[in-house]
């Protein structure tokens, strides 16, 4: 009987099950699979990449500022020029600035990108806006993130809502997560569920006070172990463990600068080097006295939307500290 070659003959010198799984971690795969190290685990490690929304047509839909939680109507050209200027400072410091190119024309607050995206050690969490006047910004952000190839590790869903500025990274193992009008318990639970397996061990809960939307007007790390805080409205129970970790506290010296100058709403380009809204001389001096280098930039037009640099910048890649 004529028979095909037996399986044994075919496999001969190279047979057997050998297509085993690859045990590399997702984080190890970021560069080979996802094209770059899309990894964030602090607010201060050298900034390599961020996502922003240059003010587009949407800011022109604001007629009554109070409808959008704005203080005043923006001059579109001034707003765009100021946006170009501060992102240029980022680029001058080696940051790759990515843009959300398309956005809904009825979502003027979409320029406050941090609220739409939280960077994690393994990619982005796409947030879910709490308010009706912002919900929907995140859909365009998802498309932008997909386009640049950054992995999305979670989209806040179900009954959760969570805006990225309700989180504040402390270090690879520690994060502050705030609940309040812009982040409910379910939203925080979803964020925590994603971060724990990535190696976050300590979550410091922060009850955001009535009248504040986010954390970046209340506290912001400016160096590996230096923290700028609004002293009267940051819970002692958040500060105490940070003190034990060796954090030096820099108390914002002027309420008016915090409230109207967004003096805490700054972006660190590297440990001890920050870009900060201009017009806050007292806070700037306090930072410099603490050994922090400050680059002031004029974002006064953009601040009519009640947000500033930190809110406008979603971090996509920072060097680990």
Ligand X SMILES: NC(=[NH2+])NCCC[C@H](N)C(=O)O
Strand, helix or coil for residue 181: coil
User: Does residue 121 touch ligand X according to CB under 6 A?
Assistant: no
Cα torsion angle, 190, 193, 195, 198, sign? negative
Residues 44-73 that bind ligand X (CB under 6 A): 69-70
Among 191, 311, 314, 316, binds ligand X (CB under 6 A): 311
Residues 147-206 that bind ligand X (CB under 6 A): 165
- Judged by CB under 6 A, the stretch of 140-148, 153-161, 197-205, 304-312 that binds ligand X is 304-312
Q: Which is nearer to ligand X, 30 or 134 (CB)?
A: 134
Q: What is the DSSP letter of 2?
A: -
User: Does residue 79 touch ligand X according to CB under 6 A?
Assistant: no
User: Does residue 112 touch ligand X according to CB under 6 A?
Assistant: yes
User: Does residue 128 touch ligand X according to CB under 6 A?
Assistant: no
User: Does residue 134 touch ligand X according to CB under 6 A?
Assistant: yes
Q: How far is the CB of 214 from ligand X (least distance, A)?
A: 4
User: Does residue 307 touch ligand X according to CB under 6 A?
Assistant: yes
Strand, helix or coil for residue 213: coil
Print the SS3 string covering 122-141: CEEEECECCCCCCCCHHHHH
Q: What is the DSSP letter of 161?
A: -
Q: Which is nearer to ligand X, 213 or 286 (CB)?
A: 213
Question: Where in the chain does DSSP place strands (E)?
Answer: 47-52, 96-99, 117-120, 123-126, 152-155, 167-171, 174-179, 202-207, 219-223, 226-229, 248-251, 267-270, 273-277, 293-297, 314-318
Q: Which is nearer to ligand X, 30 or 215 (CB)?
A: 215
Q: How far is the CB of 274 from ligand X (least distance, A)?
A: 16
Q: Tokens standing for 68?
A: 């959008």
Q: How far is the CB of 178 from ligand X (least distance, A)?
A: 11
Q: What is the rounded end-to-end Cα distance, in angstroms, of the chain? A: 71
User: Does residue 315 touch ligand X according to CB under 6 A?
Assistant: no
Question: Which of 24, 26, 30 lies closest to 318, judged by CA?
Answer: 30
Q: Which is nearer to ligand X, 112 or 162 (CB)?
A: 112
Q: How far is the CB of 262 from ligand X (least distance, A)?
A: 8
Give the span between the Cα atoms of 157 and 134, in whole angstroms.
15
Judged by the rule CB under 6 A, the positions of this chain that interact with ligand X are 69-70, 109, 112, 114-115, 134, 165, 213-214, 216-217, 305-307, 311
């Amino acid at each position: 009987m004529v028979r095909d070659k037996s399986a044994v003959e075919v496999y001969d010198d190279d047979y057997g099950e050998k297509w085993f799984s690859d045990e590399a971690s997702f984080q190890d795969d970021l560069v080979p699979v996802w094209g770059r190290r899309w990894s964030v685990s602090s607010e201060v490690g050298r900034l390599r990449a961020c996502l922003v929304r240059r003010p587009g047509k949407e800011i022109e839909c604001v007629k009554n500022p109070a409808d959008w939680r704005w203080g005043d109507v923006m001059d579109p050209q001034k707003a765009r020029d100021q946006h170009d200027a501060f992102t240029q400072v980022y680029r001058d410091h080696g940051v790759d600035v990515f843009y959300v190119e398309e956005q809904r024309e009825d979502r003027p607050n979409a320029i406050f990108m941090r609220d739409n995206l939280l960077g994690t050690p393994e990619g982005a969490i796409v947030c879910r806006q709490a308010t009706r006047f912002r919900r929907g910004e995140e859909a365009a952000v998802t498309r932008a993130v997909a386009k640049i190839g950054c992995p999305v590790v979670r989209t806040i869903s179900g009954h959760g809502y969570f805006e990225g500025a309700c989180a504040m990274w402390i270090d690879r193992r520690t994060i502050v997560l705030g609940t309040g009008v812009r982040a409910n318990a379910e939203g925080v639970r979803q964020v925590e569920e994603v971060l724990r397996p990535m190696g976050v061990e300590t979550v410091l809960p922060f009850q955001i006070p009535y009248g504040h939307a986010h954390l970046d007007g209340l506290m912001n790390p400016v160096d590996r172990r230096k923290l700028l805080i609004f002293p009267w409205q940051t819970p002692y129970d958040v500060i105490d463990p940070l003190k034990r970790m060796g954090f030096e506290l820099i108390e914002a010296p002027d309420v008016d600068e915090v409230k109207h100058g967004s003096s805490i709403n700054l972006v660190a380009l590297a440990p001890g080097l920050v870009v900060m809204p201009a017009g806050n001389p007292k806070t700037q001096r306090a930072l410099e006295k603490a050994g922090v280098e400050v680059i002031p930039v004029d974002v006064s037009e953009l601040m009519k939307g009640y947000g500033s640099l930190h809110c406008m910048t979603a971090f996509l890649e920072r060097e680990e500290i």
